[in-house]
Structure 1
Amino acid sequence: MSRVLSALRTHAPDQPAINDWTYGALAGAVDQLAADLHGIIGDGQQPVAVEASNSAAWALLDLALLQLGAPSLPLPGFFTADQRRHALGDAGAGWLVTDKAVPGAVTLPVGEEMLYLQRLGHAPVALPAGTANITYTSGTTGAPKGVCLSAAGLEQVATSLVQVIGADYAGRHVAILPLPVLLENVAGLYCTLLAGGHYLAVSPTTLGLEQPFQPDFARLLAALSILRANSIILVPELLRGLMAAIAQGGRFLPDLRLVAVGGARVAPSLLAQAGMLGLPVYQGYGLSECGSVVALNTPAANRVGSVGRVLPHLHLEIDPATGEVSLNNHAFLGYVGGAAAPARIATADLGSLDGDGFLSIQGRSRNVIINSFGRNIAPEWVESELTAQPEILQAALFGDGRADLTALIVPSRFGQDAAALSLAVARANGALPPYARVARWQAVAAFTPLNGQLTANGRPRRDVIAAAHAALLSPDEDEAPMPQPFFDRLVTETEPARLALLSVPQIQDGLTGRISLDTYIAYLTEAYHHVKHTVPLMRAARVALRPDQTWLIPALDEYIEEEEGHEEWILNDIRHAGGDAEAVRHGTPRAATQAMVDTAYRFIREENAAGFFGMVYVLEGTSTAIATHGAEAVRKSLNLPKSCFTYLTSHGSLDIQHMEFFRTLMNQVIDPRDQQAIITMANCVFGLFADLFRAIPHSRPSQEVRHVA
């Protein structure tokens, strides 16, 4: 008998299973639904197509078809009308079950929900014996391909997942991906039932997902909080959106213990940012032919940058000549209308295994870019670093046979500032080796299934994208590769130091609003003691410039005029937050703060006055990040008025404008001595600024919130 169906009768009968169904009631309901279906469709082996939103009824229908041994054909709601027609006809679907009333359909009551069964006129198609699930996946062409899978193979995947993750993680699993997506069906529903957890199949409207390519992430975040989700499964784009909602809204998900993410490569920097927001994210890898999941990082075995260890029932091999990954076959029976499945599955994915058995996937073999220097570049690798930046929603990389790479970028919001996109590309380049960095980029409209530039399951159709933007991808053949602008070099060569700064616990918790009022006032105190030196440092740099550097004086004068008196803003914030502003004014900084200020004066006086702009980059760039992502979260968490945040919020808007001015200025710095001085100073100040934050006494807020005027 099916492992999943057996589990329904193994767990405590009064334990919640699916939505309001307990395990005891669920087993009986599945029996009844299977009997009702058998009375209508008999023993016929034509597939039963399922087209419905996530619900308990969908899950019970899936279990009833499993019990009947009838092939299930789940239809995702994001399929186009042509893809839907193709799948139904290609598989020879005999029946269609929907959650919408259809004239002449047979009514199937499932508890308080209702499903509707209608006969279809498709001619039967020969399917491999034992087919339990037909999953239609779309690759680089528009017509989906039917993957026939066995029940035993799918349940083996779910069993292995429970084994490596642990049944104790089976708490309240909320289905975010559509249940017709194999990953949610197997790794979500089947795993939860095998482990004795509570599966919540919530409507897309409740989750803010009624528009699958335009989610309402604020509503999704609120729903997950109300539902107290313990585990969820996401694709990278949903992860990015959820992270943005957390950072902007100051609402956290303390009940989450496992966020599995797959479907596309995830940049390590995005995983690091997720950790800063308190999200326990674990990357995995899979393909439909293997029954969804192949490998997964887990709480007990996690290696960022990999997709985890291969599930215990699988044996993976990597071709030493090509790097292609292949796997033994447990679930795949063959494609609809095709030959029987081979004993091993060639994935067309390029991968490597480390000494501890963690798998890394570099990309698809057919997508590899070979530049004019003979270097192989997996575009998915570079694209994942680009889309890890909050300013970038989608990216597609091109450059086969050329000396440099061009990226087509879809901004995360309409009207995104070009300077912000430039900085985002530079940050992504900081995580890449020189041969894989983006030299050119162009902002374009979104890639979607409707314009043919995405497959139905969200993968870029590169040939269509390239054809649509041919003019942007075809520079003059005589055009020389653009030299890297100095600003981009500055960002690239200081990126490790910037990420180290952002990993400091005081900053991580500040970005998510998890700091006490005392910690916030302590931060403002140290900010006062270094900000009061900003204008004096600029004046010192102005005096110390060499004769050939005097062209920088107008920029310093503009900065001086802009920064004058900002330390008083900080004292006002301290006063409004209930702190002693005058004690701060007449007090002394912590040793780490003084060290940063002293180093800046010494560098200006003894090294190179132009190096001061390295400090400008650190302070403006960091205050922008903190102001944009942290100020509102802290304000809401501590229930403070906006008058306590004038310094941070003003610098958020000011420094976004300043960064474009700064980028233009830095790209005019051509003297190698000055360039190196700016980079050296920036790396030094990143480290000293990190020490400043580490020295701040840090405690998270208590349950009792302090109110101030």
Structure 2
Amino acid sequence: MREFTNPPVASAPLVGGLADAVFDHALDTPGHIALSRKDRHEKWQDVTSAQFCDEVMALAKGLLAQGIRFGDRVAIMSRTRYEWTLFDFALWTIGAQVVPIYPTSSAEQVFWMLYDAEVSAAVVEHEDHAMTVATVIGRLPHLHRLWQLDGGAADEITASGTHIDDETVHRHRRAITPESTATIIYTSGTTGRPKGCVISHGNFMYEADTMITRWEPVFSSKRDRTPSTLLFLPLAHVFGRMVEIATIRGGVKLAHQPELRASALMPDLQSFQPTFILAVPYIFEKVFNAARRKAENDGKSGPFEKAIECAVKYADAQEAKAFGTGPGPSASLRMQHSVFEKLVYSKVRAALGGRVRHAMSGGSGMDRRLGLFFAGAGVTIYEGYGLTESTAAATANPPEQTRYGTVGQAIPGSSVHIADDGEVWIYGRNIFQGYLNDPKSTDASLYDGWLATGDLGALDEDGYLTITGRKKEILVTSGGKSVSPQQLEERVRDHPLIAQCLVVGNDRPYIAALVTLDTEAVDHWLGMRGKQSMSPADLVRDPDLETEVRRAVVAANTLVSQAESIRTFRILAHQFTEEHGLLTPSLKLKRKAIEQAYSAEVDALYGTL
């Protein structure tokens, strides 16, 4: 199949903007719990629709008092927290355009985004962010205001607007249309300077309403409990932003968690107990690997491995039944599954808070086997695919027919097309308006409304998409063999000891790889084998560890021909990090930067040192 079109399930918005939902909910269901936030004692405190609306209105008045006007661009540089959502909706209420900035951005990255977007005011989280902006403020002629969240910015701004009446705010809000620009989100810049994606109120409203309607099992709760989610994705990323908007529009209780570290995230999952989560595969891998390590520490690795196999077979049988190619789990498999439900699966769900039954995953590919395991353990993960330019999800697996290992079908109201060269093209009301101040790049990406994604993929007979790589990342060996590194890298990363993998080989005689280690998993592996902790330099030379990595490479090589296989590899002492300029804020590998930073190691793989 070369093209698949999915009919719409939600109507395109004809009037209004994103903030209208806040005021509508306050009027229709003022007592509904809209959000939850932690107090100074780290206890969750509920916020009703009416309370949130009052806060948004008061902050919107203050922003007007501070000189922010319709169409002005205001940057937010912060981790994921309640105040970001408050500022988003207050700014959208008065027609301002929000420019999100990753909190880990360098001074030059911050400068480019603030300069390119002609930002007139910025909200930062803390003093370090303020200092980052201060180092480049002399080159930002349009920036006139700088507020600090940890310095009481919300209260300060709110206090300044008490003299402004409600009608003034509502006049601004009523002037917003679906075509109005809501936000400028900059791409991660893996291949060059970040580009500002212009996304309208209508783009986000249509995307959110489509997700809420079609994925109703995710955004609702059938257990007489308010549906809820803990948002820990960066709000500077389009995926996190879509979650924020969909929860507010859909009446889902929203809480925020600023840390992706397991030590901070897991306790909040267990105390907040969300009914669903939206995450990247990394989170599910962490939960799975932690459960496996615990089983090994408790001397129960054998039963745990059997539970994995049972879950995978059970979910695989359920998938076959959904597609009409099998009868479903057998009686014996159902009996075995019920035994492991109490012993293993319930404990895996407990790590996510105990109430999660549905999840959505995006950002990178998820291994089919991992998806099957979670489904068998009682958490259905709907994997999807999208870009900033598609306002988050462009495809996703439908609830009643999830095909694990794919990123699903085009979301309702959109189409997916595979071009002659294998590039994925997408079309729909969620496609962005273009790149800010960059008509050349816009013209190179948009063709009569179709977005050329730069990703390579294939559609199966039912319209399910599989992403196979990126056009710009295709490696061509000196022998002329074209190799897509993505599937090799993802399969190597399936090994629990491996954190990252970068495949190299462009203009080289064969394919090779740089591999980094998961320190937590390695420490556990050493302990289980009675080995002493080692320095990173000694660890990468350990023959037993090298054997484990070689197994991962051999497993990955089964996916490709011999000419495309990884011939050799180098284990690195340290992971690629954003701080060293080797990862984007969304944790994607910066290939050129890594190859340059580790040029000596790459040369050694080819015997050129």
Alpha-carbon distance in 1 for matches of 2:392, 2:280: 13
Task: Tell me what 2:274 maps to.
Answer: 229
Aligned residue number for residue 485 of structure 2? 379
2:239 to 178, 183, 195: 183
Higher helix share: 1
Q: 1:465 aligns with which of 594, 599, 602?
A: 594
Q: Structure 1, residues 613-632: CA drift from partner, whole Å, max 9, x if none?
A: xxxxxxxxxxxxxxxxxxxx
Q: 1:16 maps to which residue?
A: 33
Cα distance change on mapping 1:243 and 1:476 into 2, 3 Å:
closer
- Which of 185, 201, 211 aligns to 2:256? It is 201
Deviations 1:629-666 (A, max 9, x none): xxxxxxxxxxxxxxxxxxxxxxxxxxxxxxxxxxxxxx
List per-residue Cα deviations over 1:562-587 (Å, max 9, x = no partner).
Answer: xxxxxxxxxxxxxxxxxxxxxxxxxx
Deviation at 1:29, TM superposition (A): 2.6
Q: Distance in 1 between matches of 2:185 and 2:377?
A: 34
- Aligned residue in 2 for 1:154: 204
Q: What is the CA distance between 1:315 and its match in structure 2?
A: 2.2
**2:567 partner amino acid:** A
Shift of 1:282: 2.3
Q: Deviations over 1:87-141 (max 9, x none)?
A: 112211101123447899798999x9946669xxxxxxxxx98321011112234
Partner secondary structure for residue 366 of structure 2: coil
Shift of 1:401: 4.9
Aligned pairs for 1:406-485 (under 5 A) are 406-413=512-519, 414=536, 415=539, 417-432=545-560, 434-444=562-572, 445-474=574-603
Q: Considering only CA atoms, is the larger Rg found in Structure 1 or Structure 2?
A: 1
3-state DSSP class of the match of 2:433?
strand
- The amino acid that maps onto 2:196 is G
| Distance of aligned partners of 1:424 and 1:276 in 2 relative to their CA distance in 1, 3 Å threshold | farther
Distance apart, 1:404 and its partner CA: 3.5
* Structure 2, gaps ≥5 residues long: 1-15, 37-45, 132-143, 159-177, 221-226, 296-346, 520-535
Aligned residues of 2:582 and 2:594 also touching (Cα < 8 A):
yes
Deviation at 1:200, TM superposition (A): 0.8
**What CA distance in whole angstroms lies between the structure 1 residues aligned with 2:241 and 2:569?**
38
1:320 to 405, 420, 423: 420
Q: Secondary structure at the match of 2:575?
A: coil
Look up the equivalent residue of 2:505 and give its one-letter code. G
Unpaired runs of 5+ residues, structure 1, are: 119-127, 210-214, 480-709
The residue type equivalent to 2:506 in the other structure is D
Could you say what secondary structure the match of 1:87 adopts? helix
Counterparts of 1:263 and 1:168 in 2: how far apart (Å)?
A: 18
CA deviations over 1:503-534 (Å, ceiling 9, x no partner): xxxxxxxxxxxxxxxxxxxxxxxxxxxxxxxx
Pairwise CA distance, 1:323: 3.5
Do 2:76 and 2:98's aligned partners in 1 also have CA atoms closer than 8 Å? yes
Would the alpha carbon gap of residues 467 and 53 (structure 1) be closer, same or farther in structure 2, given more than 3 Å must change? closer
Q: Distance in 2 between matches of 1:158 and 1:176?
A: 18
Q: Does 1:288 align with 2:388?
A: yes
**Which residue is equivalent to 1:363?**
469
Query: Paired residue for 1:138?
Result: 188
1:243 to 2:343 alignment: no
Please give the per-residue CA displacement for 1:357-387, whole angstroms capped at 9, x wherever unaligned. Answer: 1111111011112346655332111111111
**Bigger mean CA deviation after superposition, 145-154 or 435-444:** 435-444
Q: State how far apart, in whole Å, the 2-side matches of 1:232 and 1:319 are.
A: 33
Aligned partner (choices 230, 233, 238) of residue 174 of structure 1: 230
Paired letter, 1:49: A
Residues 416 and 424, structure 2, Cα contact 8 Å, conserved in 1: no
1:35-54 matches, within 5 Å, as 35-54=61-80
Rounded to whole Å, the distance in 2 between the matches of 1:235 and 1:472 is 30
Structure 1 counterpart of 2:358, from 239, 258, 266: 258
**Equivalent residue number for residue 113 of structure 2:** 87
Contact 2:124–2:146, Cα closer than 8 Å, also in 1: no
Aligned length: 459
Helix, strand or coil at the partner of 1:452: coil
Cα shift readout 1:40-71 (whole Å, capped 9, x = no counterpart): 22425331111233222211211111221111
Residue 59 of structure 1 corresponds to 85
Per residue, is there more strand in 1 or in 2?
2
Summarize deviations over 1:212-254 as a string: whole Å, max 9, x none: xxx5314422321221122222223333223323333475333
- Of 55, 77, 80, 1:29 maps to 55
The one-character-per-residue Cα deviations of 1:420-459 (angstroms, maximum 9, x if unpaired) are: 2222323333455545432211112322223222223322
Distance 1:329 1:366 in 2: 26
TM-score normalised to structure 2 length: 0.68
* Bigger mean CA deviation after superposition, 455-464 or 284-293: 455-464
Could you say what secondary structure the match of 1:41 adopts? coil
Where in structure 2 are the equivalents of 1:306-317 lying within 5 Å? Answer: 306-317=406-417
Name the aligned partner's letter for residue 228 of structure 2.
R
Do structure 1's residue 351 and structure 2's residue 401 form an aligned pair? no
1:670 alignment partner in structure 2: none
Name the SS of the counterpart of 1:157 in structure 2: helix
Q: CA deviation at 1:350?
A: 0.8
Q: 1:286 to 1:438 in 2, by over 3 A?
A: same
SS in 1 for 2:112: helix
Instruction: Look up the equivalent residue of 2:202 and give its one-letter code.
Output: A
Residues 418 and 458 in structure 2, CA contact (< 8 A), matched pair in contact too: yes
> Are 1:69 and 2:92 matched, yes or no?
no
Secondary structure of the equivalent of 1:252?
Answer: helix
**Aligned 8 A contact 1:269 1:385 in 2:** no
Change (3 A) 1:476 1:67: closer
